């Protein structure tokens, strides 16, 4: 029982070390690069949501934004 617990602790320590190493590398990567990598494989709905999020983050710089009902309808429709 003691050996199993020691093995479990060793494995947990190894996973923690590996995760810390990955996090150290990721901390040095530009956020936009991480966002681009994270968006790989996203569906159209998710990509559109990210685009609108980007617009919202810069709302103070956008004077006026018009989205036609037709475009909005297409964006909201699935498939």
DSSP per-residue codes, 16-33: HHHHHHHHHHHTTS-HHH
Asked if 43 and 78 sit in the same domain, the reply is yes
Mean pLDDT, 10 residues at a time, the chain of 79 residues: 93 96 94 88 84 88 87 74
Say what the pLDDT of residue 43 is: 85
Asked if 21 and 50 sit in the same domain, the reply is no
The number of distinct structural domains making up the chain is 2
Asked if 20 and 53 sit in the same domain, the reply is no
Cα–Cα distance measured from residue 20 to residue 15, given in angstroms and rounded to the nearest whole number: 9
Q: Kindly state whether residue 34 falls inside one of the protein's structural domains.
A: no
Structural domain containing residue 7: 1-29
Say what the pLDDT of residue 46 is: 85
Q: Is this structure's pTM higher than 0.85?
A: no
Distances (CA, A) of 27 to 22, 34, 65, 72: 9, 10, 35, 37
């Amino acid at each position: 029982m003691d050996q199993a617990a020691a093995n479990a602790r060793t494995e947990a320590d190894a996973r923690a070390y590996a995760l810390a190493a990955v996090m150290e590398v990721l901390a040095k990567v530009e956020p936009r690069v991480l966002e681009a990598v994270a968006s790989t494989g996203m569906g159209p709905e998710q990509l559109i949501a990210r685009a609108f999020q980007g617009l919202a983050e810069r709302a103070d710089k956008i004077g006026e934004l018009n989205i036609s009902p037709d475009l909005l309808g297409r964006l909201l429709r699935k498939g």
